[in-house]
Amino acid sequence: MLFKVEMDISIPPGFAPDALERLKAAEKARFQELQRAGTWRHIWRVVGRYANVSIFDVESNADLHDILSTLPLYPFMTITVTPLCRHPSSLHDDDR
């Protein structure tokens, strides 16, 4: 199942800069692991915000929830999820 996932990150004022850098590094490593597995198919930055729009390919709603909750920055995220389905005019066979 494909999902569009919008993530807005809001770090609390006064959060320790060194702790934030460690979280960002862990987030990048987790993202790259999921990307290599084909789970996190696409990611785009949202201009002017600490946010992204991503496409996930997972088996179920529960799987997506479990994956998102493993992200190191998850406690600081506001997440919007939209289920997607293949458009009949798509030329891509892997849009399921």
Mean pLDDT, the chain, rounded, equals 94
* The predicted structure's pLDDT at residue 95: 63
Q: What is the CATH number of domain 2-82?
A: 3.30.70.1060
Stated as kind and residue range, the H or E segment containing 26 is: helix 17-36
Q: Is the pLDDT of residue 91 over 90?
A: no
| Backbone dihedral angles phi then psi of residue 69, each to the nearest 5 degrees | -70, -10
Q: Per-residue pLDDT averaged across 26-50, rounded?
A: 97
Sign of CA dihedral 73, 75, 80, 86: positive
Lowest mean pLDDT among 37-41, 67-71, 84-88: 84-88
Looking at residue 53, its amino acid is V
- DSSP assignment, residue 39? S
Q: Per-residue pLDDT averaged across 84-91, rounded?
A: 85
State the pTM of this model. Answer: 0.90
